[in-house]
């Protein structure tokens, strides 16, 4: 029997346990682990399309998560690849996992998404890579949509594009979670036809599927039927009805075999769980896994042609031939069978953790993030105009008060409000950076597109120009209209403090966004910056606060921001204010006002350094929070 690299065998049984979610409806004593998979076993072969099927809650997606390595927590069992125990790192470099939601960036075209994936997954560019992109899109029926924005693609086209992105690296093993969900019958047939062709190219293709039609069911090679976390059948689709008939379960005439199997496993014909699990030996039995048309390596291309014709796409034979050769070369470069039937790893492109260097990953991700941001009007244009309008509005409200000694307290409030405004806008922009992209991050990072470090740095660096521009627009307008001191050194110092406050607020937004879902972050996010506001020194001076609470002022980054702004505007020997709209101005000398606000002993550069250190420390914390959140997202 021909077995290309990629044969997967899970023996000794797979068990997966999970703790139930805690809630008021769960009794406190019910804290023991809930078992999801119950010692299932099986074997998935290269060159065949295997479908995992079963009623809702049977454990289909859970088993696929375990097989792909996406979920490792709470798993007990043994998995072999080509007869050798699976090495998780090596296996993940040889396989891809395409999940149900097919999350993609809506601001990119199909061509742009493919170009980014090609550089990150292949590590090179050039005409040969562009030819591969065109041929891949052509084989999946997407070439006519190459310049279409992904937001305009249909559900079936999105799933095919997600497949095309992962297919660029020509992986020997591919996992698909519910690839036909939400598709009509015609699109479902095309989708399964694509998976069948991929399998005929020598790959191991495993997918979960819920309720296939009789026509779609006929396109499948092998079926792994689950019920209540146990295997009810493991064999060829053509042998399903004879297998059930041997247990006294006869399918009615003209009835869809897939529907009948689901009805049996759902208990519509009585409880046959024990009999089905015993007959299949919980997936270990191989009695029903072969038919007379089992193919060899030499016959793979012919079967691919027949499968392509059966799926209604007869013009992909050249692509099938080319990708079959590439698949063989890839397989021989990654795993070579030994005499004992086990696989041994050889040096090849799969031995690298990532195909590209860290700097290339960072460059491509920054480019992609900036391009997406410029096309997102809500993210980019609205932020710019909010700062522009706010600067004009605040400038008109506090017009020319900066040089008036009678309005120093009003100016103090203006400077504090400006910090608050910049803090909230920077914080709010970054709080959505990670939650909305978590499915995309999980898929691309798991499939070894890039490291988490490069992604995190790209997201933080790409937003710097936009936030810097917005900060400058607001600050310049407000500073000039309110008649703050027009000295270049003071303006630069003031602008620097505003930029550092925005930088630190962005860092807090990254921490909150990495730690919480969108709905939680919107509600609880403002609470994260409330303590910094209270202990900023504006509402209560530190000298007037109780001694046991004064240390909290030193932990507030807004305290350093407010101190730096006041020193930039009023400190370091500023001349007495020449304008006084009242009969008497007590704070005509700026140093008097600094003493009144307890800021006369401040150090501007110390404030700036502390702000930078706090912002950088929070960003480092955000990275580790995101790393932990990503692990929890995959559990």
pLDDT at 528: 83
The residue to which tokens 């040889």 are assigned = 94
DSSP string, 50-105: EEEE-STTSSHHHHHHHHHTS--TTEEEEEEETTEEPPHHHHHHHEEEE-TT----
Which fold would CATH assign to domain 8-107+171-343?
Answer: Rossmann fold (3.40.50)
Per-residue pLDDT of 194-204, as tens digits, reads 899 999 988 99
Per-residue pLDDT of 227-250, as tens digits, reads 988 999 999 999 999 999 999 999
Token pair, residue 159, equals 């799933």
pLDDT at 517: 85
Of 500, 485, 462, 129, the closest CA to residue 326 belongs to: 129
Work out the pLDDT band at 25, boundaries 50, 70, 90: very low
> What does the alpha-carbon distance between residue 484 and residue 482 come to, in Å, rounded to a whole number?
6
Helix (H, G, I), strand (E, B) or coil at 204: strand
Per-residue pLDDT of 92-150, as tens digits, reads 888 999 988 778 999 999 999 999 999 999 887 888 889 999 999 998 889 999 999 99
pLDDT at 13: 54
For the chain, how are helix, strand and coil distributed in percent, rounded to 5?
Answer: 55, 10, 35
Of 341, 49, 85, the closest CA to residue 202 belongs to: 49
Helices (H), 294-357: 300-310, 317-334
The residue to which tokens 């790192």 are assigned = 89
Indicate the helix (H) or strand (E) that contains 10: strand 8-18
Q: Which is it for the CA torsion 541, 543, 544, 549, positive or negative?
A: positive
| Cβ neighbour number for residue 464 with a 10 Å cutoff | 14
Domain with CATH 3.40.50.300 in the chain: 8-107+171-343
Contact 96, 169 (CB under 8 A): yes
Work out the pLDDT band at 294, boundaries 50, 70, 90: very low
Per-residue pLDDT of 351-376, as tens digits, reads 467 889 999 999 999 999 999 988 88
Per-residue pLDDT of 69-92, as tens digits, reads 888 777 787 888 888 888 877 888
Answer whether residue 47 shows pLDDT above 80.
yes
Question: How does DSSP classify residue 485?
Answer: -
Q: Which residue has the higher pLDDT, 330 or 550?
A: 550
Q: Which residue has the higher pLDDT, 385 or 305?
A: 385
pLDDT at 565: 95
Answer whether residue 563 shows pLDDT above 80.
yes
pLDDT at 70: 86
Q: How many residues does the chain have?
A: 635
CA dihedral in degrees (165, 89, 12, 47; nearest 10)? 40
The set of residues, in sequence order, having a beta carbon less than 8 Å from that of 199 and lying 6+ positions away, is: 46, 47, 48, 49, 205, 221, 307
Answer whether residue 299 shows pLDDT above 60.
no
The whole-chain average pLDDT of the chain stands at 83
Helix (H, G, I), strand (E, B) or coil at 224: strand
């Amino acid at each position: 029997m021909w077995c290309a690299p990629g044969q997967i065998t899970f023996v000794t049984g797979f068990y997966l346990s999970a703790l139930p979610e805690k809630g008021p409806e769960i009794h406190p004593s019910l804290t023991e682990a809930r078992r999801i998979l119950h010692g299932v076993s099986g074997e998935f072969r290269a060159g065949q399309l295997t479908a995992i099927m079963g009623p809702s809650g049977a454990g289909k997606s859970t088993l696929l998560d375990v097989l792909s390595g996406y979920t490792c927590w709470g798993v007990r069992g043994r998995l072999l690849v080509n007869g050798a125990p699976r090495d998780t790192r090596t296996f993940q470099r040889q396989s891809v996992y395409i999940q149900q939601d097919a999350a993609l960036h809506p601001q990119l075209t199909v061509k742009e998404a493919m170009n980014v994936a090609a550089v990150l997954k292949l590590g090179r560019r050039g005409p040969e890579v562009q030819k591969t992109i065109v041929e891949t899109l052509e084989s999946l029926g997407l070439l006519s949509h190459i310049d279409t924005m992904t937001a305009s693609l249909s559900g079936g086209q999105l799933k095919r594009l997600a497949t095309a992105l992962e297919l660029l690296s020509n992986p020997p093993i591919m996992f698909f979670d519910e690839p036909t969900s939400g598709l009509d019958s015609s699109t479902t047939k095309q989708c399964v036809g694509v998976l069948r062709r991929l399998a005929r190219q020598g790959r191991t293709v495993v997918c979960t599927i819920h309720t296939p039609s009789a026509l779609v069911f006929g396109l499948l090679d092998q079926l792994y039927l689950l019920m209540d976390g146990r295997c009810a059948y493991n064999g060829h689709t053509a042998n399903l009805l004879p297998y059930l008939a041997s247990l006294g379960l006869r399918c009615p005439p003209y009835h869809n075999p897939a529907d009948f199997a689901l009805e049996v496993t759902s208990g519509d014909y009585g409880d046959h769980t024990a009999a089905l699990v015993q007959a299949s030996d919980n997936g270990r039995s191989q009695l029903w896994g072969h038919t007379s048309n089992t193919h060899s390596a030499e016959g793979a291309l012919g079967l691919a042609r027949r499968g392509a014709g059966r799926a209604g796409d007869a013009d992909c034979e050249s692509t099938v031939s080319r990708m079959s050769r590439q698949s063989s070369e890839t397989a021989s470069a990654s795993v070579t069978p030994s005499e004992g039937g086990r696989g041994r790893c050889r040096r090849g492109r799969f031995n690298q953790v990532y195909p590209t260097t860290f700097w290339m990953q960072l460059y491509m991700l920054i480019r992609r993030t900036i391009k997406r941001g410029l096309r997102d009007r809500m993210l980019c244009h609205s932020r710019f105009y909010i700062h522009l309008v706010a600067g004009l509005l605040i400038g008109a409200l506090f017009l020319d008060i900066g040089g008036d000694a009678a309005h120093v307290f009003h100016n103090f409030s203006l400077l504090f409000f400006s910090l608050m405004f910049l803090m909230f806008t920077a914080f709010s922009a970054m709080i959505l950076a990670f939650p909305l992209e978590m499915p995309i991050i999980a898929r691309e990072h798991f499939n070894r597109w890039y490291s988490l470090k490069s992604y995190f740095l790209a997201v933080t660096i790409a937003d710097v120009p936009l936030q810097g521009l917005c900060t400058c627009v607001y600050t310049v307008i407000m500073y000039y209209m309110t008649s703050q001191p027009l000295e270049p050194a003071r303006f630069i110092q003031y602008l620097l403090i505003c930029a550092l406050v925005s930088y630190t607020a962005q860092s807090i937004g990254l921490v909150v966004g990495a730690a919480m879902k969108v709905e939680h972050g919107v509600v609880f996010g403002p609470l994260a910056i409330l303590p910094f506001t209270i202990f900023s020194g504006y509402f209560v001076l530190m000298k007037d606060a109780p001694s046991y609470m004064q240390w909290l002022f030193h932990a507030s980054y807004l305290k350093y921001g407010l101190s730096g702004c006041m020193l930039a505007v009023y400190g370091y020997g500023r001349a007495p204010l020449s304008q006084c709209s009242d009969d008497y101005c007590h704070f005509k000398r700026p140093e008097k006002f600094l003493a009144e606000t307890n800021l006369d002993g401040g150090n501007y550069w110390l404030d700036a350094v502390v702000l930078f250190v706090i912002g950088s420390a929070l960003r480092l914390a955000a990275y580790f929070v995101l790393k932990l959140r990503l692990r929890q997202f995959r559990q």
